[in-house]
Amino acid sequence: MSLLGAIPRYLLRVAVWARLKERPEEGADGGGSRRGLRWAVGLAVGVMLLAVGGFVLFDRVRPYLHGSGCEVRTSQGTMPLDLEQGANAATIAAVAFRKQLPERAAVIAYATAIQESHIHNLAGGDRDSVGMFQQRPSQGWGSPDKLRDPVQSTSKFFDALVKVKDYLDRDLHDAAQRVQRSADGSAYAQHERDGKLLAAAFTGREPATARCWYPPGKKTASRRPEAIREMRRAFGSRLKVGGPSPLTQGAPSRPESWNAVKVTNPRAGWAVAAWAVTHAQAYGLTEVRYAGKHWQADAGHDGWTQDKAAPPDAVIVH
């Protein structure tokens, strides 16, 4: 029940209590009763004003109370993430989608990224290691600027992973170590549970499980065309986009407009939706709608809420 809905009932209780507390000996003319009634009404009005004022104040400060962050909540558990981790986690799933890899490949990538960088895009590390997977230019992984690009570094990781014979049947730490060749390959095993949790959410197997939020002060200007282009770079050109908002380089981004990312199945739809939510702060996206639910930046902490008009065959990005 909402606070405002409870106020009238509370006021009625206050008035009844005050009436019962009246003292009949205060005069046969009823003056005491009238004074008691006026006192009860005044008290009730005062309480109502305080309650309404408190509700309005809470409603205004609520977006600031939670700070910023993301959270993944699946049947396997809950995992908090910061905004960068959320965006990078969604990118890993998007690249796996582009390469048409099984969920197990994403699990291995997540466990590796957690161990190497806590899913952060690091500028440096041990010796010349950089990026989410701490890949080393001196070991032939590529130039530092490419390895600090989450899409390219993830793509390079998967390219190396699929070359590992029977990688899907190997223990996670064994498969990861054959790619990374780190000092202690057994360390990847401890993150398998978290890897499975992230994969279930960001590959879309479990719907509406990723949410992000941030205060009004962290909102950015709308860059939807740029966001959609980056989304297609991660997911691949198979991702078809429509809607009234233009996507050409330098096209204006009108906050009131939208784009529709067409999807062929629910799993792809929720992977796209999770990507949009986790990148909303960076690109000034305000709302994501899909399959009877929507997420709004102004109430990001509430997560996905009901929206019967949200289509099942396209992710609407505002």
Provide Rg for the chain, Cα atoms: 27
- At residue 55, the pLDDT reads 44
CB 127 within 8 A of CB 136: yes
- Region 39-66: mean pLDDT is 57
- At residue 104, the pLDDT reads 98
Least confident of 67-81, 215-229, 238-252: 238-252
| pTM for this model (two decimals) | 0.81
Last residue of a domain, one of 41, 64, 87: 64
What CA–CA distance (Å, rounded) separates 259 from 244?
Answer: 6
- At residue 306, the pLDDT reads 98
Q: Within this chain, do residues 192 and 83 fall inside the same structural domain, yes or no?
A: yes
Q: Within this chain, do residues 12 and 30 fall inside the same structural domain, yes or no?
A: yes
pLDDT band of residue 52 (cuts 50, 70, 90) is low
pLDDT at residue 138 greater than cutoff 90: yes
Last residue of a domain, one of 186, 202, 218: 202
pLDDT tens-digit profile of 169-196? 999 999 999 999 987 889 999 999 999 9
pLDDT band of residue 118 (cuts 50, 70, 90) is very high
- At residue 31, the pLDDT reads 59
pLDDT band of residue 249 (cuts 50, 70, 90) is confident
Terminal alpha carbon distance of the chain: 31
Task: For the sheet with 259-262, list strands across it.
Answer: 240-242, 259-262, 314-317, 287-290, 293-296, 305-306
Q: Within this chain, do residues 80 and 158 fall inside the same structural domain, yes or no?
A: yes
What's the CA angle centered on 192, arms 94 and 149, to 5 degrees? 35
- Region 252-277: mean pLDDT is 94
Q: Within this chain, do residues 278 and 312 fall inside the same structural domain, yes or no?
A: yes
Q: Within this chain, do residues 79 and 181 fall inside the same structural domain, yes or no?
A: yes
Q: Within this chain, do residues 102 and 189 fall inside the same structural domain, yes or no?
A: yes
Task: Output the six-digit token pair for 100.
Answer: 């048409």
- Region 148-159: mean pLDDT is 98
CB 87 within 8 A of CB 278: yes
Between the CA of residue 295 and those of 67, 113, 126, 277, what are the distances in Å? 17, 27, 39, 7
Q: Give the other-Cβ count within 10 Å of 170's Cβ.
A: 16
| Host domain of residue 133 | 71-202
Q: Within this chain, do residues 75 and 189 fall inside the same structural domain, yes or no?
A: yes
* Residue linked to tokens 């401890």: 190
DSSP-assigned letter for residue 130: B
- At residue 3, the pLDDT reads 44
Q: Within this chain, do residues 85 and 123 fall inside the same structural domain, yes or no?
A: yes
Last residue of a domain, one of 156, 182, 202: 202
Q: Within this chain, do residues 146 and 244 fall inside the same structural domain, yes or no?
A: no
Q: Within this chain, do residues 193 and 228 fall inside the same structural domain, yes or no?
A: no
Q: Within this chain, do residues 130 and 236 fall inside the same structural domain, yes or no?
A: no
pLDDT band of residue 246 (cuts 50, 70, 90) is confident
Task: Output the six-digit token pair for 148.
Answer: 């600090």
**Centroid of chain to Cα 200:** 14
Least confident of 168-172, 183-187, 271-275, 283-287: 183-187
Q: What's the one-letter identity of residue 58?
A: F
Q: Within this chain, do residues 227 and 152 fall inside the same structural domain, yes or no?
A: no
**Centroid of chain to Cα 300:** 7
Q: Provide the mean pLDDT of the chain.
A: 87
- At residue 51, the pLDDT reads 53
Q: How many structural domains comprise the chain?
A: 3
